[in-house]
Amino acid sequence: MAFWRCAHAAVALGVGWLALVTFVKALRGAWDSNDFPEMLAVKVMEWPTIFPVHMVSGGFALLLVPVAIALARTRGHRIIAPLAALTVVVAAATSVPVAWASPLTRWTAIGFTTQAVVWVALLGLGLLGLWRGDVRRHRACMLLMAAVTSGAMLFRVYLALWVAFAGYAHFRTFYSCDAFFGWLTPLAGMALWLQLDSRVRRAKSPDARAGCA
């Protein structure tokens, strides 16, 4: 148990550090784009207002979504959760025009647009579950939404690893794939974890134990 607690704490600290770094870079990039690569500089020129809004809202979503989940069933959750939901909606809405502004490839724009749609859809399903009093569905949808949110970090991590080990060989192809892998991999991982967690909960339920007896 002690080992798993330490492992969970290490993972949480690592993810938290990545989220904080990405948040700082997003805020800095919203106002200072002088060192942007050409593919991003073009987006700033085409959307000088929407791009900063997307960077700021996306950065805050990275911080507020996990905080809202951590504060579940507390008074703080009632304050942070609506703010987190608002940042998700704004970041998703602004990501679409940014994605289609001179995209590196058409598939990158499709990947980022699909991420935005899935992001907002999970938020909507989570709110619907809350409205219906289905706390378990609300929790599952919010965790899946958080996984999609983390795609902003993992996209950059995967891209950095590719450049580090493969240089810029087939960069356009990998960038296009990364527009999907960045958020699909954590989403699939969270879905698998929720499935396993559901099985464990059912196995521990009194009804399940009674059936085995």
Tell me the mean pLDDT in the region 9-17: 58
Tell me the mean pLDDT in the region 180-184: 96
More confident residue, 206 or 144: 144
Domain ranges, ordered by start, for the chain:
2-204
Tell me the mean pLDDT in the region 95-117: 94
Radius of gyration of the chain (CA): 19
What pLDDT does residue 211 have?
47
Q: Give residue-wise pLDDT tens across range 36-47.
A: 667 777 887 888
Count of CB atoms situated within 10 Å of the CB of 107:
16
Structure confidence at residue 48 as a pLDDT band (50, 70, 90): confident
Closest-CA residue to 29 (of 54, 64, 55)? 55
Q: Which residues contact 170 (CB under 8 A, 6 or more apart)?
A: none
DSSP label at 98? H
Query: Per residue, what are the HEC states of 5-71?
Result: HHHHHHHHHHHHHHHHHHHHHHHHHHHCCCCCCHHHHHHHHHCCCHHHHHHHHHHHHHHHHHHHHHC
Q: How far is the C-alpha of 42 from the C-alpha of 21, rounded, in Å?
A: 24
Inform me whether the pLDDT recorded for 212 exceeds 50: no
Single-letter code of the amino acid located at 48 = P
More confident residue, 7 or 102: 102
Inform me whether the pLDDT recorded for 7 exceeds 60: no
- Given a contact cutoff of 8 angstroms between Cβ atoms, the answer to whether 145 and 119 are in contact is yes
Structure confidence at residue 97 as a pLDDT band (50, 70, 90): very high
pTM of the model: 0.84
